[in-house]
A and B are shown apart, each in its own frame.
Chain A
């Protein structure tokens, strides 16, 4: 992936920065250009990184291309997390045993390596979650 593509997502992927609609007060993650209410007047909003598991799975087969993580590191846990402030996101759950996983479980954000392209490629960092 080209470096500028990674660079321009730093705020979002490192710090959970989304947007807040000045009109209807709706919070969005990821950041949006326009709110569902039609308003274009949005400001940056940083989410606290706490939420709960809406649903999850354990990924056991992935791409045959085993150069890249996360695909190299199967099995891994993937979940939809609803942030306390409202929006939901897709992320891996780390540092947990399968028996701890449950719909409704409280989780918190951690900063981790997301993608690694082979030995020489650029490493991309971002959010994952762990049991709170």
Chain B
């Protein structure tokens, strides 16, 4: 396999973008990434686009063709779907493509237009097992709430510890102009916010956002020719687990995360101790706590205390979600996995402004559904 680098990044602002549609956001992100790479559109040989459901959110499928058309590119274009991990998986498929030698330059992106429907909660529930979970009344907040309940019961994790995740991620997003929210919140705000599914409250949840994000990937030869600051993909992992939460032996751990991380660490010849900064899938605060355990940054059950002690802040032992995470940067489903990679690249280039951590090695972690898919990438400068 060949080495692959990220040579360009671009994203729209995340948020309630009522004036934008699916393709206009994707074109903006893609064009920004191409500009950032200093290449021309005609240099792009293939597109990979992650999106969960053009069909259910905006009545539009066949987004592979649509986005290539709107970009003005008649190249092979692949739509990739793995629910909330669609973006991370698009990155991985683009990586595999370039690594294999099939193409030299790819644009990989992710996009979601979530605010064109009133049925967001129902559409999101299709990422669960529809016939075995959703028809019985399972919602995404509900599934993560059930994980939180058992995590609290078993390990003594508290609602305040979960709130600390949200407070930290909102504080980080204040320095991120692309974020959905640029507003600090307090533990009290979280504790007083409306309950969605006990013990989770609105301020434990990622918001419903529109947005797109894109990267330009290049083979080693092209990257060295075109770019002074390539960021290398050192490891890539992808694992699946049962789609239904109830079929798992232990619902306080995502086995897919553990497995994907093992692959990525193995390929990069690194361990969790070598990671300087991570963007993890915090669709709900409990998900960030479980992620830092499953990725090996802290032992099982210790994430709440570790977070409340400030170890995951920028400047702490292992900064988690300096971008603001899904919680505060926003969670346009298909775009999130790609936006995580953008933050990793900005961190490694030292281009993250006040969020800079001076990292040499960064990890991204993207989850589909309640853990049916997990994608982990490791980046090095």
Contact = CB atoms under 8 A, between A and B. Distances in A.
A57 B197 contact: yes
A56 B200 CA distance: 12
A43 B244 CA distance: 22
Contact of B147 (A30, A55, A62, A87): A55
Given A59-B139, A70-B137, A78-B138, A103 B149 contact: yes
A78 B121 contact: no
Contact of A62 (B121, B146, B199, B246): B121
A97 interface: no
Interface in A89-122: 89-92, 103, 114-115
A126 B197 contact: no
B138 A90 contact: yes
A3 to B, nearest CB: 15
A17 to B, nearest CB: 14
Interface residues of A, number: 34
Contacts of B102: none
Name which of B118, B142, B146 has the most chain A CB atoms within 10 A of its CB: B142
Which range contains the number of B residues in contact with the other chain? 35 or more
B298 to A, nearest CB: 22
Contacts of A76: 137
Q: Is the interface of A mostly helix, strand, loop or mixed?
A: strand
Given A59-B197, A89-B132, A103-B153, A78 B118 contact: no
Contacts of A71: 121-122, 137
B251 interface: yes
A9 B131 contact: yes
A100 to B, nearest CB: 14
A57 B142 contact: yes
B242 to A, nearest CB: 10
Nearest to A115: B135
B196 interface: yes
B131 A78 contact: no
B132 A30 contact: yes
Contact of A61 (B131, B149, B194, B251): B194
Given A59-B141, A78-B136, 7 more contacts: A55-B146, A57-B197, A57-B200, A59-B139, A64-B118, A80-B245, A103-B149
Question: Which 6 pairs show the lowest CB-CB distances between chains A and B?
Answer: A57-B145, A63-B121, A70-B137, A88-B246, A55-B150, A55-B146
